[in-house]
Amino acid sequence: MEDVDLRFMREAIEWAKLCKPTKPSIPLVGAILATGDNVLGRGHRGSGILGDDDHAEWVALQKVQDRSKLSGATIDRRRRRMQETRW
Ligand SMILES: [Zn+2]
């Protein structure tokens, strides 16, 4: 694994912490979409209320400005349940 992968995984964890789920069944998820060390989009899971229930991967995809760069992109995605205290 390369340093950049580790960096994006850690960043995905930080983004997951931004989730504010309204119920325990909604996991905390963060996603970083990148090609090499170039980030195309970042996102976290919504709260679960109507209009704010999108998945992190979907949110990250929506942030992509130049979709021609999506070919060959990878996504680092991390999740945990609210009750867990460790990653
Ligand atoms: Zn998802």
Query: Per residue in 14-60, pLDDT tens?
Result: 999 999 999 988 999 999 999 888 999 999 999 999 999 999 999 99
Amino acid code (one letter) for 5: D
**CA–CA distance, 57 with 50 (Å, rounded to integer):** 18
What secondary structure letter does DSSP report for 68?
G
The answer to whether the pTM exceeds 0.75 is yes
Whole-number Å distance, alpha carbon 1 to ligand 1 midpoint, is: 23
Mark the residues whose beta carbon lies below 5 A from ion ligand 1.
55
| Interacting residues of 11 by C-beta distance below 8 A, sequence separation 6+ | 30, 32, 42, 76
pLDDT score for 30 = 94
* Tally of CB atoms within 10 A around 30: 28
pLDDT confidence band for 76 (50 / 70 / 90)? confident
Residues 31 and 57: beta-carbon distance below 8 Å: yes
Whole-number Å distance, alpha carbon 17 to ligand 1 midpoint, is: 15
Residues 82 and 21: beta-carbon distance below 8 Å: yes
